[in-house]
Structure 1
Amino acid sequence: MVNTQVGGASMVSSATRNEGVISLAHLRDKKAPGTELTLSISPDIWEIKKHLTVSDVRNNQTRLMLPKDDVVAHILDYLTDEERLMIEDANNRGLRIRVYDSNTESLHQLTLKKWHSSGSYVFISNWNEQFVIRRNLEAGDLIGLFWNTYASRLHFRVIRRHYDH
């Protein structure tokens, strides 16, 4: 796919298919040169990206640790004050969040909680069973997450396996 600038607008010269997302190519009226209509969907919607570590996939850890800044900017901003309090309060058990696995088109639930000792956020309860084991995740795999405001859920995807580098 080649992008060119025409009069300040970006033009896409060919259609592409990437990870199930289709970018539509330009539609050109052959009789009126220079007139183009471009529709494009960015295939990189994954706001939080993480290379899984050994501790993320180890059987005895049972949690996915996420960077504080990413969680604050891309998850907490979409939640209510009450939901954020459930995540942030050290006395609470966290907030159950629906997580849609876009690779397998399956819906799961994880609990998001803040670890006050490190200031990090973690997904607990079922992380190993519903993601690590079921998806055969390994250290070095790159995963992506984004909050879907319309469905009020988090979307998950394995972007690249560690052995695909």
Structure 2
Amino acid sequence: MGCGKSTVGPVLARRLGYGFVDLDSDIQATAGRTIPEIFQLDGEAAFRALESACLARCAYQSRLVLAPGGGVVIAVENRRLLRNQFHVVYLRACPATIAERLRGEAEHRPLLRGHSLEERIERLMTERAAFYDEVASQIVDVDGKSPEAIAEEIACGLKST
């Protein structure tokens, strides 16, 4: 969250001539509710089930750039799908960068509510780091780079695989 997936994804998709799907938007369209509403009314487990279903639906589409939420890696089956069906790019940002990007919207993000922003981001990153490393085909450090430069780096990584 906050690493730039929803910004870089469309830039990369245009560059490659692919379609683009923001998985969070797909989840909201499928559920007919916002992610905060899903969390509040149904809980995180229900959200994760929707997330897995939407990921599975996208997994066998070709010519698609997908921007999943940062927690998609929590489920073992999701990690298997990501490893086997996608060229996964881990957009890695330092916690301070993420905190700065999310500062004005933390209250709209269920996993950040009621916590010190920087501490929560660091904790989530620490909890998920091994999962990100497990599924990543490519790691791109994004701090200080434009979306276009990040997309170029990803495209170059795709050519080398």
Q: Same fold (TM over 0.5)?
A: no
Q: Which has the higher strand share?
A: 1
Larger of the two Rg values belongs to structure: 1
Higher relative contact order (CA 8 A, sep 6+): 2
TM-score after normalising by structure 1: 0.27
